[in-house]
Each structure stands twice: as structure tokens, then as C-alpha cells.
């Protein structure tokens, strides 16, 4: 992101008042390819996941692999970094960027296999599932884990994915890899969150793919909880308060 900003000759700020908003439409393939080529010409290391027409005429929404969104003009030389807002009736504003990220996150979670997750299933009839990105050395993650049983009793399945905050070369990464490689993953994860030592294991435990996924959907802190509608709940939440949010969207 910084590299892209450094290579752009001018950052144009646009006032949103007075802009005409049009319906989101798919851009022509050649327009998208031209924009992508122009952006990469300025920043070759930029990893672009998708490009779509934004609600603003001549402005494209560019989704980066880091989870960030920028808005660029077709020549790729001028862009806006930040949230796009739409003025609504009654003086309110819709955060278009946030809404699009939530929709995209929902689609990803709906199609995400739980085969590589460490799951704590609901007791009795399952009423909902949540996806939780966790770090075993995070104190609030440990606090959250202590209330997983309460969520299970309320009918909520908790699917854990790994997000070692210090990166893929950290000691936490090695610990989490050992957990995901353990025969009894549930027990290993619980033991680690009780600050107990975990036997070393060097298999490929899916941590890299979880980390990449977390980055792409905007995870920045742990725990980060993704609800079924794509909403991202950042940080520790008491079990009953979180359950209220989970059930309110059904």
C-alpha cells in the first residue's frame, strides 16, 4: 500500500456531496485488465484480488490481498485510499466500502470448508456457527476460549482458524502449527490456551493458509469473530453478549 502511494504522482481527494451514484455494474474485461496493468506498472509487487466498478462513475473498486480497498481511475495513476460513503436520505451516510467488505467476507465464509478448522460443536441442536481467528498467546483469546462451552450450550458451534499475530516466522506460529498437527486438536488448543507446553510437530498444519485468509478479509486483531452475515466482531466479547449478536442476524 505504501509503495503504491509513493509511486503515484498525485492523490486526488473527492468531495462526495453532489456526486451522482449509479448502480454497481460489471466493468468490461478489457477495462479491468487495462486498469490492472496500469496499477502494476506503478507498483509491481501489488497483489490485486479483484476489480469492480464502484457506484461512482469512472471509479473502480480495487480489492487488495491485504484486505485493503482502494478506488482507482482507469489510467491507474490516480486513486483514493479510504472509505467511500454515500449520502442517504435523512442526513445519514452509508459506508459503501464497509458494506462491500462485509458482503465479500460473508461469501468467503459461506464457502469456507471447516475441514482445517478446530471446531467445538454446539450441544444439542445447532443454531448457528461462528468463525474465530485466534492466537494462542493472546490473553483475550484465552479469555474467550474459557467461554466457548457457554456458546456451545447456547447452540453455537465455534470454528477456530489460526492467526499468529507476530507472523509466520514467530514462536507462536510454531506452537499453533503443532496444535493443528496434533492427533487431538481440541485438547491441544485448550492446553496451549492454559499456557501449557505442546509437543513439537513439524507437519503442514494449515496455518499459512489461515493466516493468508485472515489478512484477505481484514482481520487485524485477535480474537476476530466472523458472523454468518459477514460482520467482523473484533476483540473479546462475553459469550452471552456475542450470542445475542449471533442470533439477532438470523
Could you confirm whether 181 is annotated as catalytic?
no
Count other C-beta atoms under 10 Å from residue 6's C-beta.
Answer: 9
Q: Residue 151: which of 240, 66, 64 has the closest Cα? A: 240
CA distance 122 to 154: 7
Could you confirm whether 184 is annotated as catalytic?
no
Q: How far is CA 62 from CA 36, 67, 134, 189, in A?
A: 9, 10, 28, 37
Could you confirm whether 141 is annotated as catalytic?
yes
Could you confirm whether 199 is annotated as catalytic?
no
**99: CB partners within 8 A, 6+ apart:** none
Count other C-beta atoms under 10 Å from residue 225's C-beta.
Answer: 23
Q: Which residue in 104, 105, 137, 138 is the catalytic one?
A: 138
Q: Which residue in 104, 105, 135, 181 is the catalytic one?
A: 135
CB 46 within 8 A of CB 4: yes
**139: CB partners within 8 A, 6+ apart:** none
Q: Which residue in 104, 141, 142, 181 is the catalytic one?
A: 141
Active site residues: 135, 138, 141, 165
Amino acid at each position: 500500500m505504501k509503495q503504491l502511494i509513493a509511486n503515484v504522482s498525485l492523490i486526488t481527494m473527492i468531495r462526495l456531496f453532489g456526486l451522482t451514484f449509479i448502480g454497481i455494474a460489471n466493468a468490461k474485461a478489457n477495462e479491468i485488465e487495462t486498469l490492472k496493468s496500469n496499477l502494476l506498472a506503478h507498483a509491481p509487487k501489488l497483489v490485486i484480488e479483484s476489480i469492480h466498478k464502484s457506484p461512482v462513475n469512472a471509479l473502480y473498486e480495487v480489492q487488495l490481498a491485504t484486505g485493503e480497498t482502494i478506488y482507482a481511475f482507469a489510467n491507474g495513476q490516480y486513486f483514493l485510499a479510504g472509505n467511500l460513503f454515500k449520502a442517504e436520505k435523512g442526513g445519514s451516510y452509508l459506508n459503501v466500502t464497509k458494506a462491500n467488505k462485509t458482503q465479500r467476507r460473508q461469501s468467503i465464509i459461506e464457502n469456507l470448508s471447516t475441514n482445517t478448522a478446530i471446531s467445538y460443536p454446539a450441544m444439542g441442536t445447532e443454531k448457528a456457527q461462528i468463525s474465530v481467528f485466534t492466537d494462542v498467546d493472546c490473553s483475550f483469546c484465552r479469555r474467550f476460549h474459557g467461554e466457548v462451552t457457554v456458546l456451545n450450550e447456547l447452540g453455537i458451534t465455534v470454528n477456530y482458524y489460526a492467526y499468529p499475530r507476530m507472523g509466520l516466522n514467530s514462536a507462536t506460529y510454531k506452537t499453533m502449527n503443532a496444535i493443528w498437527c496434533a492427533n487431538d486438536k481440541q485438547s491441544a488448543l485448550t492446553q496451549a490456551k492454559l499456557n501449557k507446553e505442546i509437543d513439537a510437530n513439524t507437519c503442514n498444519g494449515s496455518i499459512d493458509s489461515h493466516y493468508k485468509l485472515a489478512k484477505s478479509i481484514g482481520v487485524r486483531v485477535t480474537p476476530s469473530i466472523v458472523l454468518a452475515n459477514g460482520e467482523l466482531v473484533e476483540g473479546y466479547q462475553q459469550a452471552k453478549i456475542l450470542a445475542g449478536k449471533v442470533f439477532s442476524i438470523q
